[in-house]
Amino acid sequence: MSSPAFRDLLPPFPEPPLTIAVSECLTGAPVRYDGGHRASAWPRPALEGLYEVRPICPEVGIGLGVPRPPIRLVGAPASPRAVGVEDPSVDVSDRLRAYAGTRLPDLDDVDGYVFKARSPSCGLKGVALHADPQGPPVPEGTGLFAAEIASARPALPLEDGENLFEPGALESFVTRTFVHAFWRRTTAGGIDAARLIAFHSACKYLVMAHDASAYRRLGRLLADLSGNAETTGERYFEGLMRALAARPTRSSHTNVLQHLQGYLRGAIGAPDRRAVAAAIERYRNGEAALETPLHDLRWGLQKAGARYAFDQYYLHVPRVGPQAGATVPAGTAPRTAAS
Ligand code: SF4
């Protein structure tokens, strides 16, 4: 089988640990308004070994003490303000927004950001917003610091820590951070058309697992690279990050695994192909973790010399959570394969 050499144009896949920014109270630091922390508000143990964290507390950063009077969001959803709960004349909105700008350089070498959910400074979505100071809040706000970061870094993987307890969200976040790191390495010396297309090829099956239609959509974006590759590349990467934010499912993974299985046809023996097919079927039926067919496919594709398929980042990106399963050393034969 002929193999486009897209992998030769790209750097090695990134190895953990990556660096991510994290709301400081999630790290166990006692920086909350009440002098406490919220280390339990994200599944940090599940991410052990994957990341080094860079803690940031915007409220402490703008000079508010610990403990301090709490703040809340008030006003219209499009232009909320952060004011004191007890003394609404205390308004720290402008300071929080300006502080975000001062921290942007610290995000140049990070590959993700985990925020403390529902904070008027750090929450990404669903923060209590008091449109009517006398009425009940509506969960339609975004923390003022987080909103500035999201606006300034549209391609940076961001997530509220509490969302990461949901396995699909956790998998999506981890994947996005590693793709982000891969992109930073790929484009460190600038973006050119050949590496852009190579990067897109490497991410093909990863994208398909998250959003089946996005691969074609993103490919159309790259169809004409006669203009400014830098500008097209930035648009492409923002679109890629949006696609990978969609949660993969057992069904979408099965579809991708079966596509990759097709590269084994005629390239390895029937008993080995049956073993890989059985592993995919066990995963499809919920009887095996995703790592089981991934491991068997890596083994089979390497044996088959199917380089285009073996070099897909889908097969190598780190995976977490109970569905992912333990990593099996590369090169180990399928557990049910004939040898
Ligand atoms: S939510 Fe944000 S501002 Fe509040 S204590 Fe945590 S890091 Fe600081």
| Token pair for 103 | 């921290």
DSSP secondary structure, 193-252, as one string: HHHHHHHHHHTHHHHHHH-TTHHHHHHHHTS--SS-HHHHHHHHHHHHHHHHTSPP-HHH
d(CA 319, CA 338): 27
- Is any atom of ligand 1 closer than 6 Å to the C-beta of 122? yes
Ranges of H-type helices in the chain? 58-61, 93-103, 144-152, 167-186, 193-202, 204-210, 214-221, 229-244, 250-261, 270-284, 291-304, 307-310
Atom of ligand 1 at shortest range from CA of 33? 5
Pocket test for ligand 1, best of 59, 145, 149 (most atoms within 8 A of CB): 59
Q: What is the pLDDT of residue 301?
A: 97
Domain segments of the chain: what residues? 18-165, 250-315
- Is any atom of ligand 1 closer than 6 Å to the C-beta of 32? yes
Tell me how far the alpha carbon of residue 67 lies from the centroid of ligand 1, in angstroms. Answer: 12
CA atoms within 13 A on the CB side of 192: 5
- Is any atom of ligand 1 closer than 6 Å to the C-beta of 118? no
Give the residue among 135, 142, 139, 159 at the shortest CA–CA distance from 43.
Answer: 159
Atom of ligand 1 at shortest range from CA of 31? 5
Nearest CA to ligand 1 atom 5: 32
- Is any atom of ligand 1 closer than 6 Å to the C-beta of 27? no
- Indicate the DSSP class of residue 140: E
Could you give the dihedral angle defined by the CA atoms of residues 334, 335, 338 and 339, in that order, rounded to the nearest 10 degrees? 80
What is the pairing mode between strands 127-130 and 71-74?
parallel
Atom of ligand 1 at shortest range from CA of 119? 1
- Is any atom of ligand 1 closer than 6 Å to the C-beta of 180? no
pLDDT < 50 positions in the chain: 1-3, 326-332, 334-339
Q: What is the pLDDT of residue 223?
A: 87
Tell me how far the alpha carbon of residue 121 lies from the centroid of ligand 1, in angstroms. Answer: 7
Pocket test for ligand 1, best of 25, 37, 53, 93 (most atoms within 8 A of CB): 25
Tell me how far the alpha carbon of residue 25 lies from the centroid of ligand 1, in angstroms. Answer: 6
Q: What is the pTM of this model?
A: 0.93
Task: Report the 10 Å Cβ neighbour count for 196.
Answer: 22
Atom of ligand 1 at shortest range from CA of 116? 1
